[in-house]
Amino acid sequence: MKVNMKPILLIIALIALIFSCKNESETYLINGQLLSHSECKSTKSGAGISMDSDSLSCVEYAYEETNNKLHLKHINAGFNCCPGNLTCNVSISNDTILIQEKEQFAQCNCDCLYEKRIY
């Protein structure tokens, strides 16, 4: 007696697919705020782009696993010399944390580099 294996394999594959799918509707609570920022570190006019290391922007981070806190330090964040209040909005989209840094207004005709600490 010959058994047709195709339907059996199809059923096993469907069962495996159903049980292997993750629940993508998990929701995460996330919040953040700007803790502090430095004074203007250096002033840049719009004269030209410098590739010196003091004008490159980067982010240092540290994660505290015990209380699920991510600390970020944005080095050389470029904003206006007269920004008013500097703020940030933190949100999550799928598996990506989005941080939007903002200045209240741009009153001066120059830019500054700041260090910002975000929690």
d(CA 99, CA 61): 13
Q: Does 44 or 61 have the greater pLDDT score?
A: 61
pLDDT at 13 over 90: no
- Closest C-alpha among 87, 81, 82, 71 to residue 37: 87
Please tell me the least confidently modeled range out of 21-25, 28-32, 79-83. Answer: 21-25
Which pLDDT does position 29 carry in this prediction? 78
What tens digit of pLDDT does each residue of 45-90 get? 544 444 455 668 899 999 999 998 899 998 988 899 999 998 889 8
Q: Is 56 exposed, middle or buried (0-12, 13-18, 19+ CB in 10 A)?
A: exposed
Percentage of residues of the chain with pLDDT beyond 70: 67
Listed by start position, the domains of the chain span 27-118
Taking all residues of the chain, what is their mean pLDDT, rounded to a whole number?
79
